[in-house]
Amino acid sequence: MSEKIKAKALIFDFDNTLVDTHSTISGAYSRIVGLLSSSLGMDSSYLMQQLLNAQKEVIDDIPLVSRQYDRKAVIKKLNENLSLNMNEKQIDELAQVFYDFILEKIDYSNDTEEVLKALKSKGKKLGLLTDTDVRPGLKKKRLDSLGFTKLFDEVLIAGEDIPQRKNSPIPFIELARLLNVEPESILVVGDRMDADIDNAKEAGMKAVLIDKYLPPNTGVHKPDAVIHELNQLLEIVD
């Protein structure tokens, strides 16, 4: 384990850091594929692969600076690629299936609340920084449904509370201002090298990468530490 990192405050990412959004998205896609497979008489494995290909085209392959995690756009691309002839209403209904699912099903480790409480007991300020879910108000509903989010001193939904999303250091700097802690005394915890680690470093903060739910993507800056379980934070934060 890395040597101790001094921090007065910690800023956490939400999706795939505190909660297992990767599995939730897979479940939402399975529900969409099930509906399409039943109505179209198409092989579900084939449809799933095509849906993932559509996501790659409209989300994964788009540069971070202009990327939007819009699942309606994924379904529209699937419709276009397979010539399914779905109308706008049908596409909207499937997109709503996706967003209803991710609101209803949020999985996370039992350690999450304990780790946050332990950090609070050490006198650390806690901030939560997360991107909009594209549909205004949806991310707030997801956060409000979880008891542990009440442990945060400040919560900032980038792209809603402020115009800027987590494709620049601006939201990190703004949350530092809200916490009233200088950036150099803040430790950021997130799952993405580009969105979390790089922008935290550009904001003058320290950063820890968590690889529990997703393998790391590429970035410019090196994290101060890499952890697999959230409770490992308690071993490295001073």
Per-residue pLDDT of the chain (238 residues; tens, 9 = 90+): 457 999 999 999 999 999 999 999 999 999 999 999 999 999 999 999 999 999 999 999 999 889 999 999 999 999 999 999 999 999 999 999 999 999 999 999 889 999 999 999 999 999 999 999 999 999 999 999 999 999 999 999 999 999 999 999 999 999 999 999 999 999 999 999 999 999 999 999 999 999 999 888 888 999 999 999 999 999 999 9
What is the rounded distance in angstroms from the CA atom of residue 56 to the CA atom of residue 222?
A: 26
**pLDDT at residue 3 in the model:** 76
- What type of residue is 30? S
**pLDDT at residue 38 in the model:** 94
**pLDDT at residue 1 in the model:** 47
**pLDDT at residue 215 in the model:** 84
What is the rounded distance in angstroms from the CA atom of residue 121 to the CA atom of residue 124?
A: 7
pTM for the full model?
0.94
Which residues does residue 208 pair with via DSSP β-bridges, in sequence order?
A: 189, 225
**pLDDT at residue 110 in the model:** 86
Helices marked H in 122-232: 138-144, 170-179, 199-202
- Show the tokens assigned to 148: 């542990």
What is the rounded distance in angstroms from the CA atom of residue 113 to the CA atom of residue 91?
A: 37
Q: Could you tell me the fold of the domain covering 9-20+108-236?
A: Rossmann fold (3.40.50)
Placement of tokens 């071993």 in the chain: 235
Instruction: Evaluate whether 110 touches 116 at the Cβ level (below 8 Å).
Output: no
What is the rounded distance in angstroms from the CA atom of residue 204 to the CA atom of residue 77?
A: 39
Domain extents in the chain? 9-20+108-236, 22-104
- What type of residue is 22? H
**pLDDT at residue 218 in the model:** 87
Placement of tokens 């001193």 in the chain: 153
Helices marked H in the chain: 21-40, 44-55, 71-82, 88-104, 111-121, 138-144, 170-179, 199-202, 233-236
What is the rounded distance in angstroms from the CA atom of residue 234 to the CA atom of residue 189?
A: 12
Cβ atoms within 10 Å, residue 215: 6
**pLDDT at residue 201 in the model:** 98
What separation in angstroms does the CA of 189 have from each of 73, 103, 127, 178? 29, 23, 10, 17
